[in-house]
Every structure is written in C-alpha cells, then in structure tokens.
Amino acid sequence: MSTDDVSRRTFMRTAGGTAAAVGGATAATGTAAGQEDGGGSEEPDWPSATNGNVGSYQDARGESEVTVSVGAGDQGLAFDPTQLWVDPGTTITWEWTGNGGAHNVQTVDDGGPASLDSGDPVDEEGYTYEYETSEEDAGITHYHCVPHTSVGMHAGLAVGEDVPTVDTGGGESSAVFVPESARALTIATFIAMVSTLGLAFVFMKYGGTIAPDEA
C-alpha cells in the first residue's frame, strides 16, 4: 500500500469524524435552541410545513375575528392560514371546506397553551368550530387534524406580542417560520459540511504523491 493511499484513508477517516462531530454538535445545540426558543412542552416552535400544509401566514393582530379554512390546498389536507398570529380576546373560526375527507382541530400532545378540540372529525362543508383566545393562551400552540396528522395537516397559532417571528413585510406570506437560532445553526452546519467535503475532494483528486522509491 502506498504512502498516498494511507494518507488518503487517514484523511477520509478524519473528515468522517469531523462530519460526525459537526452533526452531533448540531443535534445537541439544536435541542438546546429548541428549548430556549420554545421547543419545550410549554411553548413549542412553529410546526414545520410538511406535505399537507400550504405554508401560509396571517398576522391578524388587531382583529377581533379571523377565519381558518379546514381542508384547504389542492388535496384538501391543509389549514389556511397555516401559521396564525392573534391577540388575546380574538375569536377564531375554523370553517370546513368539505374537501379532503373528515377533519378536526386538536392541539397535539404538549402542543402549547391553547386547548383546541373541535371533537370528532367532520366532512360537512360549512361546519365551524370557534375558539376565543385569552391571556392564558399566550405563546405558540401547535395543532393538527388527527385523521391526517401523518400526511402533514398541522398548523400553528401564536397568541400575544411576545412570540418572536419574522418580518415578512406584509400580512400574508408563504414563509414557514423557523427560530432565528435554528436558522443560524443550519447555515453554519451546512457551511461546515460543504467545507469538509470540499477538502476531501481536493485531497482525493490532487493531494499526495507517490515517493520515487515506490514508483
């Protein structure tokens, strides 16, 4: 085995260890960030947009009433708006579109302060469920449609002024909200991983030469 081969294998083991270390640090830091930004049971993060979500956002602060469509999207498997921000005292009406089968509205386990529960799933167009927020609901509540939770029919409700969010420059946006620390961590991890892989590529392609006596 040439010195070049040994060097390359040593480098790859080192690079692999570095990548694993970065991944482990990311997981640990991400958990801590989630706890600091609301990842615990008392104040969860905004749920991520998945297959069923339309990813819409509505800032309804200052409004006394707001409506959320149940069974939105092309497949009828979404809440619209997916992320909703309101004040305490706002009445939220979830209105069924009749699409996508039978739906309900329910806070996920340890999903936040607001106890949302529309009861058994319903597929009737025009059916409504109302909930008036209060000071006790301050924070983020993650809710879902129980029959369609596995396909991503989730949404988030933020109550009060103290929930950090992203300035979208308008009342509605297709943005999905991620805590600032989590976004910064993701970017840093991506840069570290790309740098490691880039160095590995350069070393494999150009690094190391065979000693004259081994040629």
pLDDT per residue as tens digits for the range 99-154? 999 999 999 998 899 999 999 999 999 999 999 999 999 999 999 999 999 999 99
Gyration radius of the chain over CA positions: 24
| pLDDT top residue among 40 and 131 | 131
| pLDDT top residue among 79 and 185 | 79
Whole-number Å distance between alpha carbons of 176 and 46: 8
Whole-structure pTM value: 0.58
Return the pLDDT at 44: 45
Q: Among 33-42, 70-79, 179-188, 194-203, name the one with the lowest average pLDDT.
A: 33-42
Position 196 confidence tier, pLDDT thresholds 50, 70, 90: confident
Alpha helices in the chain (DSSP H): 3-37, 180-206
Residue 187 has pLDDT above 80, yes or no: no
Return the pLDDT at 43: 41
pLDDT per residue as tens digits for the range 41-86? 344 455 544 445 678 889 999 999 999 999 999 999 999 999 999 9
Whole-number Å distance between alpha carbons of 55 and 208: 49
Give, in order, the Cα–Cα distances in Å from 39 to each of 22, 84, 108, 134, 182: 21, 18, 13, 22, 11
| pLDDT top residue among 109 and 178 | 109
106 Cβ partners below 8 Å, 6+ apart? 116, 117, 118, 143, 144, 145, 146
Centroid of chain to Cα 52: 13
Site of tokens 């993701």: 186
